[in-house]
Amino acid sequence: MAPPPSPAFLPPDDRNLSPFTGWGREHWLATADHWLGQVRRYSSAEGAMTRLPGRVTGDGVRRECMETVGRSFLLTAPRIAGAADSDPVADEHLEWYSRALLAGTRPGGAEEWPRGVTCRTPLAGVTNSIVEAANIAFGLHLTRERLWDNLTRPEQRQLADWLLHHARAEVWQNNWQLFPAMAEGFLRSVGEDVTGTTGRRNVARVESWYLGDGWYTDGPEHSIDYYNAWAIHPYLWAWYRMNDAVHTPDGERHLQRLSEFVASHSRFFARDGSVLHVGRSLTYRTAVLASLWCAELSGVNPLTPGTTRRLASGVLSRFTEKGVGVDGPLSLGWYDPFEPMCQAYSGFGSPYLAGIGFLGLVLPAEAPAWTAVEEEQPTDGAAFQAGMPETGWLLSAQDDGIVRLVNHGSDHAWLSVGDDVDGDDPHYAKFAYSTHTAPGTAQAWADDVDSHFALLDDDGNASRRSALRATRVEGDVAGSVHLPQLNRRLFDGCAVTTVSFLDGPYEVRAHLVQSPQVYRVREGGFAVAAPVPPTSAVEGKSAWARGADEVTAAVVGLHGWDEAAIVEHSGANAMGERSATPVLLGRCGAGLSAFVTLHVLTKASDGHLDAWASAAEVDVDDTTVRVRWASGRSAECDLATFVPWDHHTGPRAANL
């Protein structure tokens, strides 16, 4: 099928420069100007109270308007910083944002923004103005010569006072630690007052959460996600620059970690530009590219310039092709507007954090990233699969272009908010994610079917995976232990150890259930989605479902299962209105019970259950599972001992 025609605001494709995407720097400039133009269409008199279409959170309209300006400033800042002296469009952006920032920070003004609390205990309440203080500080750092340096001294003092108010705040023990530090860092860089601030302490806290291979956990819990890409690494990058600490031991260590992160994270993108759909705040979309551009700007990028442009342009062109930001302001959602995938803190201005992914526009037009002819992406070549022991993940990609992630390390379970009393989240709690599927939300999350293994209570309610008790990755085999729970109550005496084996597009997932009684159990495959009901079929102890673009998920019962089925939902998946999940059903006994499933995610025009079923043979001997792949590879492990853990103390991770 031919791709849809390019939006009218884009210049013609340049296939000589970029054979795959056709995109160059002019396409990025055009997209940035179009997105910013959509913001300015809704401008208030001075800009600070710009009200976009979309929902308002409990913090109110003024907070959302502040977020609209602060986050879209992340987009306009590199546009201004990298502009030529004779660029009238950049000058218009500069004038509008200068006015809006001053209006929002003017005490008693008609368009004044709310200020964050000043108490030293974050549990007493923290507003998102602290986040926007960081975003504004980041943008001011990039545009210092064109914006800050051209303000009058009273105007500078006004902005500095607003930033200092937030730089002194205590905040949550996660990536928020960097937000006051960012405000302080900018103030320090321009010689303003920074008394009462704790930026260095905050940065040290974040640095202490380093896992390895460039990845950080987002706080002391084991929460791993794209906040590495669009917050932790970019804000550390800016903080070391603001504090003239790039060439200190800490600054050089950061650049090494940044380089390692980009090398690892660059494999999270499919050939067609699709982004691996995992973690919260996914409505930020192109923000996932921020660290890539930070590495390029610092000269520590492990990717070649052409590869950098290929990867970044692939992501932006994919979202553009799907209509994101084409006919109106950025919406809450993924490709289409879809609020169920968003967190309660996301309002109409939130998606514009996507702008931090445009940092490459700081680079001049003659920079190698914009001019290199070769264009290659890390996942364009041969298929790969790799263990990521620092994060508890397995990552793989195949010739079908889908990138898959097996999750035995991240759960986000300690940040319990809202009505979900178990404190978990569909974007963390699943066993698997991919670039071409999304976890079920809304009713699908309440049912908790896809990419999940559950014990079912007498009413058919599924247990939650919630907090992982231990995890281990050895090569391309990974496992974890969790205690099934529901409504904050454990299934007494129950524990589930799960081990994943990979081979090509296949995963054999083995579960060892410890239980004092009989429970019904259920395992779901990937949820596939489409505008219309996906095609599906059930054959014995196997089932498959096929959604849009022939993305097909299947489960094959290899051991312990009784039957298969298909579970369907409407309005519960970010990839399409209708979704379907193949599932297996069985029963565990009192004592130890083993269940083994072959999971498939691929692109196929028809179901191939016979071929898939022969992809792996398994032998189960007590708690030992042996897998023999049709490819000739084999693997074996004892489910009872592969992941060391203590049922009473529950170590967080055996290898972390």
Q: Which residues contact 152 (CB under 8 A, 6 or more apart)?
A: none
Does 20 map to a domain?
Answer: no
Last residue of a domain, one of 317, 341, 371: 371
* In a shared domain, residues 472 and 555: yes
**CATH at residue 91:** 1.50.10.20
CA gap 534, 527 in Å, rounded: 10
CA gap 51, 28 in Å, rounded: 25
For residue 592, give the DSSP letter.
Answer: E
The confidence band for 117, taking pLDDT boundaries of 50, 70 and 90, is: low
CA gap 501, 619 in Å, rounded: 14
**Whole-number percent of the chain with pLDDT over 90:** 84
Does 655 map to a domain?
Answer: no
| Token pair listed for 537 | 């079929």
CA distances from 64 to 72, 286, 565 (A): 12, 20, 44
* In a shared domain, residues 328 and 284: yes
* In a shared domain, residues 281 and 410: no
pLDDT at 609: 75
* In a shared domain, residues 491 and 630: yes
Does 571 map to a domain?
Answer: yes
Query: Which of the pair, 127 or 340, is modelled with greater confidence?
Result: 340
pLDDT at 645: 81
The arithmetic mean of pLDDT across residues 328-343, rounded, is 97
Total tally of structural domains belonging to the chain: 2
Does 13 map to a domain?
Answer: no
Q: pLDDT for 362-396, tens place per residue?
A: 999 999 999 998 777 665 656 889 899 999 999 99
Q: pLDDT for 470-513, tens place per residue?
A: 999 999 899 999 999 998 888 999 999 999 999 988 999 999 99
* In a shared domain, residues 405 and 359: no
* In a shared domain, residues 498 and 604: yes
* In a shared domain, residues 417 and 325: no
| Angle (CA) 615 619 625, round 5° | 100
pLDDT at 381: 57
The confidence band for 606, taking pLDDT boundaries of 50, 70 and 90, is: low
Q: Which residues contact 23 (CB under 8 A, 6 or more apart)?
A: 13, 14, 309, 313, 316, 317
The arithmetic mean of pLDDT across residues 225-240, rounded, is 98
* In a shared domain, residues 166 and 205: yes
pLDDT at 219: 86
Q: pLDDT for 156-197, tens place per residue?
A: 999 999 999 999 999 989 999 999 999 999 999 999 999 999
pLDDT at 378: 63
The confidence band for 2, taking pLDDT boundaries of 50, 70 and 90, is: low
Does 3 map to a domain?
Answer: no
Alpha carbon 313 to its chain centroid, in Å, reads 18
Does 554 map to a domain?
Answer: yes
pLDDT at 415: 41
* In a shared domain, residues 468 and 322: no
Q: pLDDT for 135-149, tens place per residue?
A: 999 999 999 999 999
The confidence band for 656, taking pLDDT boundaries of 50, 70 and 90, is: very low
* In a shared domain, residues 236 and 91: yes
Does 283 map to a domain?
Answer: yes
Does 233 map to a domain?
Answer: yes
Examine the pLDDT at 122 and tell me if it is beyond 70. Answer: no
**CATH at residue 522:** 2.70.98.70
**Whole-number percent of the chain with pLDDT over 70:** 93
Please identify which residue in the block is written with the tokens 């321009």: 190
What backbone torsions phi and psi does residue 409 show, to the nearest 5 degrees?
-135, -25
Q: pLDDT for 38-77, tens place per residue?
A: 999 999 999 999 999 999 998 899 999 999 999 999 999 9
Examine the pLDDT at 238 and tell me if it is beyond 60. Answer: yes
What backbone torsions phi and psi does residue 587 show, to the nearest 5 degrees?
-140, 140
Q: pLDDT for 81-113, tens place per residue?
A: 999 989 999 999 999 999 999 999 999 999 999
* In a shared domain, residues 359 and 409: no
The pTM of this model reads 0.95
Last residue of a domain, one of 371, 405, 434: 371
* Whether the Cβ atoms of residue 574 and residue 341 lie closer than 8 Å to each other: yes
CA distances from 625 to 309, 318, 512, 515, 597 (A): 44, 41, 10, 19, 12
Last residue of a domain, one of 307, 338, 371: 371
CB atoms within 10 A of CB 53: 11
331 lies in which domain range? 28-371
* In a shared domain, residues 414 and 302: no
Examine the pLDDT at 458 and tell me if it is beyond 80. Answer: yes
